[in-house]
A and B are shown apart, each in its own frame.
Chain A
Amino acid sequence: MSFQNPGALLWLIPLAASIVALYLLRMRRRDVRVPASFLWPARTDEVRANALIQKLRFSWLLILQLLALSLVVLAFAKPQAKQHGLAGDVTVLVVDAGASMGATDIKPTRFDEAKRLVIDTIKSAKPTDRIALIEAGPSPRVIFPMSSDPSKELVALDNLQRYDAESDVGEAMRLAAALVGSQPGARIVLMSDGCFEPIKDFSAGKAAVVFQQIGSGRRNLAISALGTAETPNGRQLYVGIRNYGLDEMAATVTLFGDGKVIDSEKASIKQGVQWGKTLNVAPSIKVFEAKLDAPEDELPADNYAVTLVDPGSTLHVLLVSSGDPFLERALVLDPRVSLDRASSLPVDTSRYDIVVFDGVQEKPVKARGVLTFGAAGPNSPVSEQGSISGPRFVSSEHRPLMADVDLDGLYIESAQAVKPKATAEIVARSDRGPLVVTNQSGGLKQVYVSFQPLQSDFPLQVSFPIFIGNCLDYLGGQESANMLSVQAGAPFSLSTFSPVSLQDPDGHTTQSKPIGGSVVIRDVRRIGKYTLTVDGKQKPVYAYLRSDRKSDIAPNKDIQLGGGQVKAQIAPVRFADFWRPLALLTLLVLAGEWWLYARRS
């Protein structure tokens, strides 16, 4: 037990001395003449005094008054007891729901252990404690808001799910800080194995951050690479296995082509070494899958990989930008897109299908398509002629690029004044000149947009992701892929006006309705083969996890948070005030003292 205000205890001595001194005062009694005094008992219960001074005698009133005083002084000293537990008065629990939390070093999994801790925390919380729970998956979400109703919290806990994907713990922590950062004494409890990138741009405000580290092992083999390459000898498939543990581990790698086994090999892989293999494969095979069987492996999620050779099924996109989250989100919503980001154009662009210039001047590239926003270059389909401000959309052509794109009322702060080159086609124009221009020459397709998205309210329009999707279709050269491979946990969109159903590897089906001509699929949480039914046609979707960060399941005891370091705590301490029961006890003692006084007076 400790005291928040120990100085108050010093008052006990003078105050107690004062009370005792009052009892040393002698009662000045009224003289009364009686016929005979021998019948009267010499019984004195002094409750008042008005003269000096007498010998101190035992008195229950004195005892009760000293007891009440002691309790009051103790209450003013604000005693507090140390309690071990995750919950504070106000607590936000953030549970890492990323792939590494599926590690089985703690049975059954780290995630289940985190869930158990959440249940324990809810059950052990005091009635006045308020708790919220945030799921730190790829897209953080609040499982239940601030509440002090354990039964509802436990019911809501069923919605907490794990993803075979990278978790956005940073965003989850920022969400938690937004919830309780302004409340002194609040606590943000992160339950995680610490397997995530350092979190920047984070401030807990007045809340305290507690890191509850979960996990102990790091034995993990992962398929780190799977792909095809066109060589003079024909199409070759390569596969890479990496050992993230500290001990050599044995595994069996099995490769599938269009669902049939095409190769299987046992391998023993040393710590930190990447084992690899290449083999020639038939050009007719469109889906290659790799599965890893390692008995000592502690993370199953990265033991599966898939690569598709169906044209258009994958688009490697490079975004050259100083930063535009709206554009990035619109790009990755397309399931075909594998997005890389750069602030300046790299030397080698041959591995990219599409390069997007966002406010960075367009330069010659080796990609199939180029999308440029507000920064025409010498190679662009337009020539720059200055800048204009406040252009207003006037009309657009009936082209696939502009299908379902409504630019009416679009506000553009400033744009480039451009003149299209001879081969270029204006597909949308404003009252001050071209807005969208396309060009196709040789194997290169170009789309030029005369303004940057962030210099307009275009990113806030429903048409924006549709326009980006149309651009990807146009520049990628395929209307849509017959099959998809996506990162598990990452939402993606499909352009359709019909409901879409998704059947997961376990056979469960979920329905999604279109909004504004597109459907966002968010239910691909686990690795494996899904079946998407769109407009009556079935399309296989392969979900995979390929993440060095998540495959390295060695738990971190310290995490980097907002530029500082937070250490894992085994049993965080909270201080529970108990001045209230003391005050109640004081009242009871005073009531008893009053009762005794009234009887004796």
Chain B
Amino acid sequence: MNLLLEPREFRVLEGLRLNPKKSFAGRVRGERLTKKKGISIEFSDYRDYVEGDDLRHLDWNVLARLETPIMKTYRDEEDLAVHLLLDCSASMDFGEPAKFETASRIAAAIGYIGLGGGDAVYPRQVGLRQPAMPALRGRSSYLRLTKWIGDAKPNGEEGLAASLRHFAHASARVGLAVVITDGLDPQAAAAVRGLGGRGHEVFFIQVLSDIELDPDLEGDLRLLDSEGGKPVEITANSFALKDYRQNLTRHNDALREALLRVGGRYALVRATDSLEETVKRVFRREGWVAA
């Protein structure tokens, strides 16, 4: 059985919880505090008594001293909907190691953290139109998650932006949308804004290989787009490479700006980066997860 992660990586992930900025309404009682005032044991605030309130939560001590009925409120604990969006488009099958391989391991790590934190993890393949998978809950579901990841192949025919739009328009439960992708779609920034507009908090992890960050093409070439885009004829010289790098930087900046606008988070990960490094540099340092 392929657990996708090494034992030492599990140890690194142990005790971590996803840390979205927003609070989302849960469907079942979970381990995550919400802003909704509820009946859990964790005190939140006081408020005036109104008729019909449960007298069990009346603060008798305050009433005795001040002769004013004051109700104690408590923070509720609900589960978090974590949409694990793994890009399975054809462009992910590039690089050494392949971007999809790195993206899969990151997805497994995010899933493991979510499952360990009592969140509802909704795995979704981006680039493929497949029926939505029911939520996974609890660490025991990790095996199902790894099987799902193991079955995924980077051969999707749908583009990233189209897939994200499709997801946003679907009646998915609002929550944390973790997008693990190469982001190589000219409409990706617009799709991210659409995703945020639907109320999701977006964690955007862009995985790029070295041949994308520092291409070593040379000569007169016809570039064939892996996802069916228009072929481009180029003379791969210093001018063309310089233009490419500028375009990539501009594209990534647009993604980052779109995520900032919708309150999301963005990280660029090299396909060659180890998972431990990603967890340390991105997840922990930038507060994507909390211990």
Taking beta carbons and an 8 Å cutoff, which residues of A are in contact with B?
27, 29-48, 599-601
| CB-defined contacts of B226 to chain A, threshold 8 Å | 33-36
Q: Are B247 and A39 in contact (CB under 8 A)?
A: yes
Q: Are A29 and B247 in contact (CB under 8 A)?
A: no
Assembled-state Cα–Cα distance A36/B208 (Å)? 12
Assembled-state Cα–Cα distance A36/B211 (Å)? 12
Q: Are A36 and B229 in contact (CB under 8 A)?
A: yes
Q: Are B221 and A35 in contact (CB under 8 A)?
A: no
Q: Are A29 and B229 in contact (CB under 8 A)?
A: no
Interface centre among B182, B234, B239 (most CB of A within 10 A): B234
Within 8 A of A (CB), among B91-143: 91-92, 94, 99
Q: Are A37 and B239 in contact (CB under 8 A)?
A: no
Which chain B residue has the least Cβ–Cβ distance from A43?
B240
Given contacts A43-B239, A43-B243, A600-B239, contact A38 B225 (CB under 8 A): yes
Q: Are A37 and B223 in contact (CB under 8 A)?
A: yes
Assembled-state Cα–Cα distance A44/B222 (Å)? 10
Chain A nearest Cβ from B217, distance in angstroms: 7
Asked if B224 is an interface residue, CB under 8 A from chain A, the answer is yes
Taking beta carbons and an 8 Å cutoff, which residues of B are in contact with A?
91-92, 94, 99, 182, 184-186, 209, 212, 217, 219-227, 229-235, 237-240, 243-244, 247-248, 251
Selected A-B contacts with CB under 8 Å, 7 pairs:
A27-B220, A35-B209, A36-B226, A38-B184, A39-B251, A41-B244, A43-B240
Which chain A residue has the least Cβ–Cβ distance from B248?
A39
Chain A nearest Cβ from B163, distance in angstroms: 15
Looking at the complex, which one of A27, A35, A47, A48 makes contact with B184 (CB distance below 8 Å)?
A35
Which chain B residue has the least Cβ–Cβ distance from A36?
B184
Assembled-state Cα–Cα distance A34/B237 (Å)? 16
Assembled-state Cα–Cα distance A27/B251 (Å)? 30
Q: Are A37 and B220 in contact (CB under 8 A)?
A: no
Which chain B residue has the least Cβ–Cβ distance from A37?
B225
Q: Are A43 and B224 in contact (CB under 8 A)?
A: no
Interface of chain A, main secondary structure: loop
Q: Are B223 and A40 in contact (CB under 8 A)?
A: yes
| CB-defined contacts of A31 to chain B, threshold 8 Å | 221-222, 224
Assembled-state Cα–Cα distance A600/B219 (Å)? 9
Which chain A residue has the least Cβ–Cβ distance from B231?
A37
Assembled-state Cα–Cα distance A546/B184 (Å)? 110
Looking at the complex, which one of B225, B237, B248 makes contact with A601 (CB distance below 8 Å)?
B237
Which chain A residue has the least Cβ–Cβ distance from B247?
A39
Given contacts A36-B185, A36-B227, contact A42 B234 (CB under 8 A): yes
Q: Are A42 and B217 in contact (CB under 8 A)?
A: no
Which chain A residue has the least Cβ–Cβ distance from B208?
A35
Chain B nearest Cβ from A141, distance in angstroms: 71
Given contacts A31-B221, A41-B240, contact A600 B212 (CB under 8 A): no
Interface centre among A27, A34, A37, A44 (most CB of B within 10 A): A34
Given contacts A32-B222, A32-B223, contact A37 B232 (CB under 8 A): yes
Looking at the complex, which one of B92, B94, B233, B248 makes contact with A42 (CB distance below 8 Å)?
B233
Q: Are A45 and B184 in contact (CB under 8 A)?
A: no
Chain A nearest Cβ from B209, distance in angstroms: 8
Which chain A residue has the least Cβ–Cβ distance from B218?
A601
Q: Are B184 and A44 in contact (CB under 8 A)?
A: no
Interface centre among A29, A36, A41 (most CB of B within 10 A): A36
Chain A nearest Cβ from B153, distance in angstroms: 16
Q: Are A37 and B229 in contact (CB under 8 A)?
A: yes
Given contacts A36-B184, A36-B229, contact A43 B235 (CB under 8 A): yes
Interface centre among B99, B233, B235, B243 (most CB of A within 10 A): B235
Q: Are A33 and B224 in contact (CB under 8 A)?
A: yes
Chain A nearest Cβ from B94, distance in angstroms: 5
Chain B nearest Cβ from A525, distance in angstroms: 79
Chain A nearest Cβ from B230, distance in angstroms: 6
Assembled-state Cα–Cα distance A41/B244 (Å)? 6
| List of 3 A-B pairs having minimum Cβ-Cβ separation, nearest first | A35-B91, A36-B184, A37-B225
| CB-defined contacts of B248 to chain A, threshold 8 Å | 39
| CB-defined contacts of B186 to chain A, threshold 8 Å | 38
Assembled-state Cα–Cα distance A31/B221 (Å)? 6
Interface centre among A27, A35, A38, A47 (most CB of B within 10 A): A35
Interface centre among B99, B209, B224 (most CB of A within 10 A): B224
Q: Are B217 and A32 in contact (CB under 8 A)?
A: yes
Assembled-state Cα–Cα distance A43/B217 (Å)? 13
Which chain A residue has the least Cβ–Cβ distance from B224?
A33
Chain B nearest Cβ from A32, distance in angstroms: 5
Chain B nearest Cβ from A114, distance in angstroms: 66
Assembled-state Cα–Cα distance A322/B222 (Å)? 99
Q: Are A39 and B244 in contact (CB under 8 A)?
A: yes
Q: Are B219 and A30 in contact (CB under 8 A)?
A: yes
Chain A nearest Cβ from B160, distance in angstroms: 10
Given contacts A30-B219, A40-B234, A43-B235, contact A35 B247 (CB under 8 A): no
Assembled-state Cα–Cα distance A83/B167 (Å)? 86
| CB-defined contacts of B221 to chain A, threshold 8 Å | 29-32
| CB-defined contacts of B220 to chain A, threshold 8 Å | 27, 29-30, 44, 46, 48
Looking at the complex, which one of A29, A38, A48, A601 makes contact with B233 (CB distance below 8 Å)?
A29
Chain A nearest Cβ from B157, distance in angstroms: 15
Looking at the complex, which one of B92, B230, B235, B251 makes contact with A37 (CB distance below 8 Å)?
B230
Which chain A residue has the least Cβ–Cβ distance from B90?
A35
